[in-house]
Chain A
């Protein structure tokens, strides 16, 4: 379910590294919790965020959620397809419905994120609360 090629945050974002660039999205668990996504707000190119900072907003019909940057970095790409078709986030949250790409400047922070199996364990606990 949760691919091994990336790391996960407890706020339900994932980041997949290629060189110093990290692609960021929300997890399948998050999209299921939200329900039908109808609005996504993403940052401007060049915006800089520290780990844990809010980089955008995602809304379903009934809920508003902040998006938290899993590691620090500068935004180098945003996915305009999910801005114009937010419902895509429900369909392929780990694939083509990524949200943004950042140039990561806090590579050491990556180690603090969860692996796929740790994240799986984390949401099983959260889901049973």
Chain B
């Protein structure tokens, strides 16, 4: 167990690689209750969230979610988050565990009497059921029709006799669900999903597999790949920045950067020479250090060493040659297209269109 923002979290349940592969080939179950939940309620919640975040909150219908962020005036990240529209003027932001207090302070300092914001993190558990067999497993525990639940949509219903909000979201690159559960019902759901999923190849999975899975899918991790020093455009998240939606914190800086172009961007690479690039190892371009590896690991499904780094435009095209200084040894790497891993989408019946609102 490791201490993670004050939570006792398992890095693994015995074997990171087996857990990772279970998620790619069958299913994995993650306890991510450490994530924070901020509830926005009341008149003005929409305008408050429109000001705080770069994505267009007005496009969210009740029952839909979107990936977004709290941005600084420079267009960098206070935090990244998923925003759920629960009701007409009720929204839930799922934020990073380590940032809950910082986020709440940030929101409060920019709230102009609009609505009300509360940290409800202690009221909810969050369980992620991810993998190609996730729908089959969850389907055996709920009367809710999952086939019709689109990517980044959610519905509240009964799961194993407990109430839960079922969201078709995740942080692994696989199909799957995140279940937001009033805390007292979480243990039963966890146990029942393990019972139903076990025979189908489901394994409980820890933080270690969660990290390697999200890296293969090139999903950014706050504190590694995104932070208060890199803008949303530099992080290659232009798709969530809606410059035409009206003003928001960081809009001017991002609009200027969109016009001028970014001088560095988060790109993916894989090792050519032997060795594993790790977070913090220096990356070199033409012999000059250009920055650190922001995330780097052996990728258990792809069976190679991959990483992310902010690189200048001359290194953006796939095939560009870079080097990684692995504890004093310069090892060759090359820029590759991302995501590193993309699942094969099942066309019939999955209902998991890739539209992200």
Contacts and interface: CB of A to CB of B under 8 A. Distances in A.
Given A36-B18, A38-B17, A61-B298, 9 more contacts: A38-B298, A39-B276, A39-B305, A60-B16, A61-B16, A61-B300, A62-B16, A64-B278, A64-B327
A36 B20 CA distance: 11
B275 A41 contact: yes
Given A61-B212, A61-B298, A38 B11 contact: no
Which 8 A/B pairs are nearest by Cβ-Cβ distance? A36-B17, A38-B298, A61-B16, A39-B276, A62-B208, A59-B276, A61-B298, A36-B16
Interface size class of B (residues with CB under 8 A): 10 to 19
Contacts, number: 39
A43 interface: no
Interface string A41-67: 100000000000000010111101000
B12 interface: yes
B274 A36 contact: no
Interface of B: 11-12, 15-18, 20, 208, 212, 274-276, 278, 297-298, 300, 305, 327
Contacts of A38: 17, 276, 298, 300
Given A59-B298, A61-B212, A61-B300, A36 B275 contact: no
Interface in A64-119: 64, 87
A39 B12 contact: no
Contacts of A35: 12, 15-16, 208
Nearest to B12: A35
B205 to A, nearest CB: 12
A39 B331 CA distance: 14
Contacts of B11: 62
B15 A39 contact: no
Contacts of B276: 38-39, 59, 64
Contacts of A36: 15-18, 300
Contacts of A59: 276, 298
A41 B274 contact: yes
